[in-house]
Structure 1
Amino acid sequence: MSQTNSTDHFFKDTVLGHPSGLFVLFFTEMWERFSFYGMRSLLVLFFMASVVDGGWGWDQGTASSLFGSYVGLVYLSTMLGGYFADKKIGYRWAVVIGALLMTLGHFSMAFETQFTIYLGLVLLVFGNGFFKPNMTSIISEMYKDRPEKKDGAYTIFYMGVNAGAFFGILLCGYLGEKVGWGYGFGLAGIFMFLGLVQFWLSQSIFGDIGLKPVKKDVEELAKLDTDKRVPFTPWQLVVIAISTTLGLLWIINAPATKISKISGGNFNVFGFLGENGNAIAILTALVLFIILLVYRITQYSKTTREKLIAVTFFAFITIFFWAIFEQSPNSLTVFAEKYTNRILTGNSSAIFLVINSLMTIVPLIIINWVMFLLFRKTFAKYSVASIVLSISFVIIWIIALWMLVKDYYTAGYLELSDATLEFLRIKKTTEALTEVPATWFSTLNSLFIITLAPLFSKVWESKYNPNANVKYGIGMFLLALGMACVAFGAMGIEPGAQTASVSMIWLILVYLFHTMGELCISPVGLSYVSKLVPARMIAFMFGVWYLAVAIGMKGAGMFGEEVEAIADKNGISYFFWMLTFVSVAIGVLSIVMSPIIKKLMHGVR
């Protein structure tokens, strides 16, 4: 290996055994996830809130439809962002453009008008597409000569992802619900902007990585991979164009049709196809895509063909996993808001306040310690970037402490003078109680991931490590167990009921089991794509994989569209039992198919 191409210089001055650049990415990604999850946790609640409460007064079906289209497009846009980064502008410019678009998107949403909300969502879709796939690409390049260190690097990076998601949901959710929706949306924009500035000022720490497009060495790939090539023919490109156009029009038209009806309109791109035009369009797109996928798979050599079938099977399971798992910011958050007893008094209030304080302060201290270690290595050279990062945490501490002070005051455990209350913008109250925000429960996913990930990692590295199908099956069973908890807790709610007081413990159990399911499935999928697919086909199959995730995300919205109708007819518990049985069925399918898929994988573990 020539010294010119070596990345060893990144490891000469490390933080916790890793290059300082990893931690620049850690904090940049942390603020991006803060903004993304913070805004997302509020979206459905904002749409459903009454006009008096500052929302739009939509029904849950319309809110879920737009939510599903938004998160689906976020994942589809990664293919566009990845293409431009690889072929045109490089990883670093892609990250900068993505962060800038997301900053503008969040600030746009803070104004809460129809135009600015829709504009904000469009900017966030494209911003995520440029940002999301390229952060990990920079890490991959930085560690290309130290593959043995990659697992540890991605573990640290994943901690930043979950720390950002945790604080984003906790603080944006709190401000959005307790103060005003625009404050929650705006706070997300502030931290995305600070993350952008920090990355821009520190980017020279990455050397030449990501400065310009990475050119694929076709000759090298040819030497490593002599398998039969199947180039895209004109008819195949036409099929791709038709199915893509129909899919994109459908994913936009589905919520647009519902939204237009609210204002008395009748917008429907596929109206000429009749009452079921939307369904006809998307089924046509799926059939065309499946025909193309099956045809192309049959054209490869036996070994490659069978490996591609295995990847496609895992992608199919993934659709159902995300469609059910992503009820978190949708039907589960609405369940927390409408049907869960979130008013705590006495000992219950005290216990919650202590737990919430520890959940807030301890992670902040740990992350500040990591920031201090980074500053020791980089402050002299990147002082302005370090100051920007420090400002970010000063703001976080101020908002977090304000939130805790407000909660202790409203619960009756803290006395504050009128002047202090006015200074802190806290409303005076004589009622001693704690109201848990509906979005608070979503923070448990990130908290449980950070807590449980090391345990699951140890199991996967031990002799008890199950094969991929069993992992998927266990993940789906845990998903089912979580849904069964909330279904059982909701059994006393009558059909048509608009409120209830179900115990918080059921939602806590949901997030515990769902997080365990996520740890069985989420880290596995992309790993198998890279292991099973020939190098030259990875981009295409990653596209198929992200398409499966996007379908799952849209599926989550489609499930959410049916909640109110099912709850009115059969009770809300019936809806969650349906998702429970679907999860069990998919889990059984995964395990039953284990011997067949194992054979198709040709020894890949």
Structure 2
Amino acid sequence: MGPPMNRPSGGDAVPDFPQTMGHPRPLWMLFMTEFWERFAFYGMRWALTLYIVAEFYAGSGEGEAPAARVYGAYLALVYAAAIIGGYIADRVIGYQRSILLGAVVMSAGLFMIAYPDQTVFHIGLATVIAGNGLFKPNISTMVGKLYSPTDERRDSGFTLFYMGINAGALIAPLLTGWLAAKVFGTDAMPDYKVVFIASGIGMLISLAWFWFGRRQLGIVGRPLEGAENKGRVLWVLLFVLASVPVYYFLLAIDAAMLQWILTAMFLILCGMIVVEGFREGKVARDRSIAMLIIFVFNVLFWCFFEQAGSSFNFLADKIVNRDFGGWIFPVGWFQSVNSLAIITFAPILAWLWLRMGKRNPSIPRKFGIGLIFNGLAFLLLMFALSSLVNAAGLIPFWTLFMVYVIQSIGELCLSPIGLSMTTKLAPSKLVGFAMGGWFLSTGIGNNLSGIFASHVSGDTGMTVASAQAGYTQGFWILLIGGVILFLIAPLIQRLMHGVK
């Protein structure tokens, strides 16, 4: 039996949970479950492109472009799979079972990619995608189900959960980077396989944490009435296993072809949202159009932000001076700078928006600021690659470090408000579908990030000249995009009909 139910006015039934530190006790269980899942995800993410080049292209620069395209496609498909996983949890087996099944599948995939065979590696990546689709969207939904819609602690609870995400993302690259370069390998020849094994172990810890802690949730996240049959879990598992070859195929095809597929999906989704907006009236129509305009700029942001795991890795490995008097700063550790910056600057920006009061920038202007900060990071790289290259052909360590910091400030202006904005602007009958559109727009940006990174590396691998040319192009695209969004922000704001 779960805890007794109380029914807050105007909301869904929410159990009367015991409280720990002012929040429902299951929040802390979900916090640690997500911590270890993010440890697994970010622990392996930094090593993917470097491993592909080292293992399957014998370290040749010719492997950088295909590695970047695989990385972009992988991230894009992770977001696309989240749409399917959310539907399965909603309609078929419930959230608790989706999370458990997703964790099992992800763990298997992470251990598979440690096997030094290119086919097994790609099957492993496809398996991680399939498992992540069941896990990632549903654990966030579970947090929301711990609070009634009118509970004032709701935003605070999500903030704490977000800190769990960033804590896992902060620690994972530090530990796995140290294991790869200092314990099992060397700075010159890191042992990337141990990174994937460590990530697999992290995912197993996440699975165990949720398995033993899920009793705290009571009825929250259990299957809908009439759908308790455990045979459904077997059918979903068979469906997930059948989806692995599909993801494998999408990883293997040309990134440009995948881009066409994702774009077609996005256009169909946009069309359905606009049609529903017209049905619901002028206000719903205008808000739908405003939301879709912002989705397009969201694609642009993530295309360049996600250089973090692809071209910035090659930059760090080949062109950044990481030598501190004989001690070499591991490449993977750069990936922790984003989380460190998020944890540092999130409360500062939250205070700043509050302090600005009525002068607080509108949603489209905040998106514009995010794009411009992303562009400023590329401007710093342009300067470093043109004016700060030393005799050994290396740029100073601090430049790439600050690139991650500047990008993180841009992310804070854009990412936290995206999901909230979508729920407010979408037609009432298609809110979940529109949320899928938000994730899909992010996924399209991620696939484009791999295509862009492959251009930066070229056919023979990244050089100072190729990096400078590519990042200069990135700066101008982001700057122009940010300025355009700033200029049309008043129009978008009018289309939003008072949504803040």
Q: What range is the shorter-chain TM-score in?
A: 0.7 to 0.9
1:91 and 2:95 are equivalent in the alignment: yes
Amino acid in structure 1 at the alignment position of 2:458: A
Contact 2:176 2:195 in 1 (8 A): yes
- Given residue 456 of structure 2, which amino acid in structure 1 is its aligned partner? V
Displacement of 1:57? 7.3
Q: Does 1:556 align with 2:421?
A: no
**1:502 match:** 395
Q: Report what 1:201 is aligned to.
A: 212
The equivalent residue for 1:441 is 334
Residues 471 and 65 (structure 1), Cα distance of their counterparts in 2 relative to 1, 3 Å cut: same
Partners of 2:260 and 2:342 in 1: CA distance? 40
Could you say which structure has the greater relative contact order, defined with CA pairs below 8 angstroms and 6 or more residues apart? Answer: 2
Distance in 2, matches of 1:585 and 1:253, equals: 32
Conserved 8 A contact 1:49-1:57: no
Q: Deviations over 1:527-570 (max 9, x none)?
A: 11111224321011112111111101101111111012396695
Distance, in Å, in 2 between the alignment partners of 1:340 and 1:60 is: 17
Q: State the alpha-carbon separation in 2 of the partners of residues 282 and 329 from structure 1.
A: 21
Paired with 1:115 and 1:519, the residues of 2 have a C-alpha distance of: 38
Match of 2:223 in 1: 212
What residue in structure 1 maps to residue 16 of structure 2? 9
SS of aligned partner of 1:59: helix
- 1:63-108 residue CA offsets vs partner (Å, 9 max, x unmatched): 0111111100000000110000000100100110111111111111
For the Cα contact (< 8 Å) 1:60–1:563, is it kept in 2?
Answer: no
Q: Is residue 598 of structure 1 aligned with residue 488 of structure 2? A: no
Match of 1:576, SS state, is helix
Gaps of 5+ in 2: 186-190, 227-244
For residue 334 of structure 1, what is the amino acid of its counterpart? F
Q: 1:165 aligns with which of 147, 152, 169?
A: 169
Matched, 1:589 2:484: yes
**Could you tell me how far apart the structure 2 residues matched to 1:520 and 1:489 are?**
25
What is the root-mean-square deviation in Å for CA atoms of aligned residues?
A: 2.9
Conserved? CA contact 1:250–1:282, under 8 Å: no
Q: CA deviation at 1:283?
A: 6.8
CA offsets 1:254-275 (integer angstroms, 9 cap, x no match): 74459xxxxxxxxxxxxxxxxx
Residue by residue over 1:111-168, the C-alpha shift from the partner in whole angstroms, topping out at 9 and shown as x without a partner, is 2222331121011101110001111111111112652101110111011000101111
Partner of 1:565: 458
* Equivalent pair of 2:129/2:247 in contact (CA under 8 Å): no
The one-letter code of the counterpart of 1:446 is S
- CA–CA distance in structure 2, aligned partners of residues 551 and 291 of structure 1: 17
**CA shift in 2, pair 1:286/1:252, >3 Å:** farther
Q: Which amino acid aligns with 1:173?
A: G
Q: Residue 362 of structure 1 corresponds to which residue in structure 2?
A: none
Q: Contact between 1:50 and 1:57, CA under 8 Å: does it hold in 2? A: no
Write out aligned runs for 1:252-263 (5 A). 252=249, 255-257=252-254
Please tell me the residue identity of whatever aligns with 1:206.
Answer: L
Paired AA for residue 596 in structure 1 = L
SS for the counterpart of 1:482 is helix
Distance in 1 between the 2:49 and 2:85 partners? 26
Once the two structures are superposed, what CA deviation does each residue of 1:167-189 show, in whole Å capped at 9, x if it has no partner? 11111223234421111100000
Give 2:410's aligned residue. Answer: 517
Of 297, 300, 307 in structure 2, the residue corresponding to residue 320 of structure 1 is: 300
Q: 1-side partners of 2:101 and 2:393: how far apart?
A: 45
Say if 2:89 is the partner of 1:82.
Answer: no
Q: Which amino acid aligns with 2:297?
A: I
Q: CA, structure 1 residues 341+568, in 2 after alignment: closer, same or farther (shift >3 Å)?
A: closer
- Identify the match of residue 132 of structure 2 among 120, 128, 135: 128
Aligned residue pair count: 464
Query: Within the alignment, does 1:144 sit opposite 2:37 as a pair?
Result: no
| Number of the residue aligned with 2:290 | 310
Aligned residue identity for 2:52: F
Given the alignment of the two structures, is residue 471 of structure 1 paired with residue 478 of structure 2, yes or no? no
Deviation at 1:300, TM superposition (A): 4.2
1:274-313 counterparts in 2 under 5 A? Answer: 297-313=277-293
Are the counterparts in 1 of residues 105 and 128 from structure 2 also a CA contact under 8 Å?
Answer: yes
**2:393–2:464 Cα contact (<8 Å) kept:** no
Q: Shift of the alpha carbon at 1:509?
A: 1.2
Asked whether the 8 Å contact 1:62–1:255 carries over to 2, the reply is: no
Q: Is the aligned partner of 1:185 residue 2:196?
A: yes
CA distance in 2 between counterparts of 1:3 and 1:583 reads: 49
Three-state SS of the structure 2 residue aligned to 1:309 is helix
Q: 1:457 aligns with which of 346, 350, 367?
A: 350
Q: What does residue 155 of structure 1 align with?
A: 159
Q: 1:544 aligns with which of 434, 437, 448?
A: 437
Q: Which has the larger radius of gyration?
A: 1
**Structure 1 residues 290 and 200 mapped into 2: Cα distance closer, same or farther (>3 Å)?**
closer
Counterparts of 2:14 and 2:267 in 1: how far apart (Å)?
46
Q: Shift of the alpha carbon at 1:197?
A: 0.6
SS at match of 2:87: helix
Deviation at 1:301, TM superposition (A): 1.4
Per-residue CA deviations over 1:314-367 (Å, capped at 9, x if unaligned) read: 11110011111000011111100010111111xxxxxxxxxxxxxxxxxxxxxx
Rounded to whole Å, the distance in 2 between the matches of 1:250 and 1:145 is 36
The C-alpha deviation readout for 1:273-307, integer Å capped at 9, x for no partner, is xxx97787777666666665655554441110000
Secondary structure at the counterpart of residue 490 of structure 1: helix
Checking the alignment, whether the CA contact within 8 Å between 1:314 and 1:525 is kept in structure 2 is no
Query: Would the alpha carbon gap of residues 72 and 44 (structure 1) be closer, same or farther in structure 2, given more than 3 Å must change?
Result: same
CA distance in 1, matches of 2:491, 2:437: 21
| 1:43 Cα deviation after fit | 0.1
Structure 1 Cα separation of the partners of residues 426 and 257 of structure 2: 36
Q: Distance in 1 between matches of 2:278 and 2:451?
A: 32
Q: Which amino acid aligns with 1:338?
A: K
Structure 1 pair 436/568, CA: closer, same or farther in 2 (3 Å)?
closer
Q: What is the distance in 2 between the residues matched to 1:75 and 1:199?
A: 22
Q: Aligned-pair distance for 1:249?
A: 8.0
Provide runs of 4+ in structure 1 moved above 4 Å.
50-53, 55-58, 248-255, 276-300, 566-570
Which sections of structure 1, spanning at least 5 residues, go unmatched?
216-247, 259-275, 346-432
Counterpart of 1:20? Answer: 25
C-alpha contact (below 8 Å) 2:367/2:414 kept by paired residues: yes
Amino acid at match of 2:6: Q
Letter in 2 for 1:118: H
Distance 1:84 1:50, change over 3 A: closer
Equivalents in 2 of 1:173, 1:19: separation in Å? 35
Distance 1:544 1:52 in 2: 36
